[in-house]
Structure 1
């Protein structure tokens, strides 16, 4: 087995990859800029100027693991929806019964209210089948689209993603739309308690099992985080003051860098991907760290080097030239073979009509994948360390949702390494892959909100309707 030295064996590849290698000072600078933007986002005077807007979730309680009961949830995501009945029982057991919902394209592209009418109908049938239609169970919504939240149960839709084209809903309260749709079924009792984003749902789901959870991290096609902030630091909050109170904050940090903060790190390939994207000039932190962006950056770099004859010389380039053709799953496969083996990598290259690849080219491609994914992990670690240092907790768990952390060979190691390097050593942390979906967190939120509304014990919720 040949052990390749990039600087010697494929120097042109090595030279390009150095553009994706931030130094320690760069990472510290990103961390400190993130902290500055977070402070601005939380402040009343500077909120509108921050690229990390720190939206209020209005979730002001955290589960302890002693919560019990049955709750409903709806996960409404860009690619799929799910209705769930979640039961929290003793010994930290969670029982989940769910139904996946495929929303027809005609409804996705039609009048926006039709989506909620459609979901309400399926939800009603679901609770009837489960024989809880008369129980007035609390329901929480985990929502994968941008909201402007004014309260736990008031969230105005800001925008859909490209998968949805439904009109007439932008600027409308999503919770009210669902309640109005359910009102058409007076024979069914469901108490819609509130709405949260995916990161908050992941945080709450893990927090029930690990009460020291304080960060929720989304590392998939989108990049986002949420964390637990002291209520007295949330200047945008206008409710009752509580010096010991906390609130989950949706950082919305995908936009970090939209004001030029990260320009010192952007190279020609970053700029090309941004210009050719559907949203040029915005969501720049996500374009550094999101799974979709990692795949596209690898493709752009590969195509550039193939044009120069530095890799896969003489091979066809037409498939590599297709935008977004190389997804994150393929990048993981390219870097997942054991040393000296290229079985999975060759299967990926076969899709690009490049067959019987030379070992040197495969080693160079693996190097590209590793360097670009490692940079993504480094920049995420800068953001995570800013949150950990800010909260100043002795020990926290971080809920991680995203295949890139679970499946990519070096990503998890890099994220842990650089987060430790950038975090005050007196604060300990642990990244934990969430086993439960964000819908479980939405169910917990609904239960806690119900207990607060009806003055039951918020730490021991028992539903005996």
Structure 2
């Protein structure tokens, strides 16, 4: 059986080694990225320079964090790129969370139709759900966890900026998502649901973990989208014009766009630029494209195809399937690197899907080396962002809510991320990455409960503080 030292990339596949060197940022590079991000965040939080920042730092208007002592029953609606989910969430004693949910598959005709049709469909689904659960008359607070870009004007006012490619509901962009849902729910007078507010996926993950771990101060999303949120001091949020006395604000960084102004060009290489130019959003979401889980497989595919054309790897094999854009996904990438050292069984299984069979072991070793190089760089670049936020908050210890398959399933991604976050973070500030067990919908339910308690200060029935 082969072992760790079977191949020396520089000697055994020099063309592969040469390309992978392009994906090895130095510590100085990572520190530079961290400092550039901090500058963009400061601009995003400021009144005068907000519009110039590629990290807009949207105010979530979530200004309280759960303690874990809250109790009650609430509804949540998750609106994600691939599906929607309605949840009934009950917070009981001893940090127990009971959830009952229903996944709603949205027909393409609805997702791509009129905005009114989309929200009517969601309202119908909610009405059916609360009737099934026999809570249709309880006027339960509902929170929305939303995976698309919003501009918030209040906790319950979120103006839709854009959909992703799966959605195209006409007439919804530029309108308040909360009001669109309220209007649709008003067509069902037989049910009573109070929509309290809307938050993004990162804030939902942060709040969900915070209920169980009260020192949670950051949410990190590494799935179909790349984003983060963190807890900022309200005094730093120059665009905030709300109630005085609120000391904190959960910020949706929207950091996927970091670098859209060219500041990250020094770290991007020819393969990054090719991926970007061939994407449906050229010149946009550049930080996501060099660090996000969604783009890792595509980068690997582009590199393999280049090397196949030069004869450096899988030289005589067919290229029609590997030539299909986005064909190599994150799951395939994880499978390739999940084999033990010197073993390439899963790597060959992945290549079989591309009709590239009976591969030479050296080619599979080169493939694994490419995948490791791409994922390691991504983890290092994410570490720059995480360290930036930790250093901004200046807290002795925080928990970071992590949501994303690449973190959970990849054998080394979490280790590399932690290593470089440690390297870049001021040693006075401690941190812990925690995989979120509860979905962002649980966080939306918590938000709804806290907003209800704040709105009806004399009514403790719905969201009690169990001291």
Instruction: Indicate whether 1:440 and 2:442 are aligned.
Output: yes
Distance 1:310 1:333 in 2: 22
Q: Structure 1 residue 23: deviation in Å?
A: 0.4
The answer to whether the Cα contact below 8 Å between 2:76 and 2:89 also exists between their aligned partners in 1 is yes
The answer to whether the Cα contact below 8 Å between 1:289 and 1:379 also exists between their aligned partners in 2 is yes
Quick one: which of 45, 49, 52 aligns to 2:52? 49
Instruction: Indicate whether 1:235 and 2:238 are aligned.
Output: yes
State how 1:50-449 maps to structure 2 within 5 Å. 50-242=53-245, 245-449=247-451
Distance 1:456 1:445 in 2: 18
Q: Structure 1 residue 290: deviation in Å?
A: 1.1
The answer to whether the Cα contact below 8 Å between 2:141 and 2:193 also exists between their aligned partners in 1 is yes
Distance 1:251 1:458 in 2: 33
Q: Structure 1 residue 377: deviation in Å?
A: 0.5
Q: Structure 1 residue 458: deviation in Å?
A: 8.4
The answer to whether the Cα contact below 8 Å between 1:66 and 1:459 also exists between their aligned partners in 2 is no
Distance 1:69 1:266 in 2: 48
The answer to whether the Cα contact below 8 Å between 2:318 and 2:356 also exists between their aligned partners in 1 is yes
The answer to whether the Cα contact below 8 Å between 2:449 and 2:462 also exists between their aligned partners in 1 is no
For residues 92-146 of structure 1, what are the alpha-carbon distances to aligned partners after superposition, in whole Å with 9 as ceiling and x for unaligned? 0100000111111221122111111111111112111211111111000001111
For residues 228-253 of structure 1, what are the alpha-carbon distances to aligned partners after superposition, in whole Å with 9 as ceiling and x for unaligned? 000000001011333x6101000000
For residues 34-78 of structure 1, what are the alpha-carbon distances to aligned partners after superposition, in whole Å with 9 as ceiling and x for unaligned? 111000000001100011110000000000100100000000111
Q: Structure 1 residue 172: deviation in Å?
A: 1.1
Instruction: Indicate whether 1:11 and 2:14 are aligned.
Output: yes
Distance 1:363 1:459 in 2: 61
The answer to whether the Cα contact below 8 Å between 2:78 and 2:144 also exists between their aligned partners in 1 is yes
| TM-score normalised over the length of structure 1 | 0.97
For residues 196-238 of structure 1, what are the alpha-carbon distances to aligned partners after superposition, in whole Å with 9 as ceiling and x for unaligned? 0000000000000000000000001211000000000000101
Q: Structure 1 residue 462: deviation in Å?
A: 3.4
| TM-score normalised over the length of structure 2 | 0.97
Stretch deviating more after TM superposition (182-191 or 206-215):
182-191
SS at match of 2:171: coil
Q: Structure 1 residue 456: deviation in Å?
A: 4.8
SS at match of 1:15: helix
For residues 139-177 of structure 1, what are the alpha-carbon distances to aligned partners after superposition, in whole Å with 9 as ceiling and x for unaligned? 000011111111100111111111112111111111111
Distance 1:104 1:239 in 2: 39
Distance 2:133 2:21 in 1: 57
Distance 1:180 1:201 in 2: 24
Distance 1:29 1:462 in 2: 46
Distance 2:20 2:265 in 1: 18
Stretch deviating more after TM superposition (253-262 or 109-118):
109-118
Q: Aligned pairs, how many?
A: 462
Stretch deviating more after TM superposition (15-24 or 122-131):
122-131
Stretch deviating more after TM superposition (116-125 or 328-337):
116-125
Q: Structure 1 residue 25: deviation in Å?
A: 0.3
The answer to whether the Cα contact below 8 Å between 2:7 and 2:362 also exists between their aligned partners in 1 is yes
Q: Structure 1 residue 357: deviation in Å?
A: 1.2
Distance 1:324 1:372 in 2: 15
The answer to whether the Cα contact below 8 Å between 1:228 and 1:247 also exists between their aligned partners in 2 is yes
For residues 261-304 of structure 1, what are the alpha-carbon distances to aligned partners after superposition, in whole Å with 9 as ceiling and x for unaligned? 10001111011111000000010000011112111000011111
How large is the Cα RMSD of the aligned pairs? Answer: 1.4
Stretch deviating more after TM superposition (318-327 or 66-75):
318-327
For residues 365-392 of structure 1, what are the alpha-carbon distances to aligned partners after superposition, in whole Å with 9 as ceiling and x for unaligned? 1000000111001010000000000000
Task: Note the residue ranges of structure 2 that are not aligned, 5 or more in a row.
Answer: none
The answer to whether the Cα contact below 8 Å between 2:73 and 2:462 also exists between their aligned partners in 1 is no
Quick one: which of 451, 454, 458 aligns to 1:452? 454
Stretches (4+) displaced over 6 A:
457-460
Q: Structure 1 residue 450: deviation in Å?
A: 0.2
Instruction: Indicate whether 1:20 and 2:23 are aligned.
Output: yes
SS at match of 1:92: coil
SS at match of 2:214: coil
Residues 427, 460 of structure 1: CA spacing in aligned structure 2 closer, same or farther, 3 A cutoff? farther
SS at match of 1:91: coil
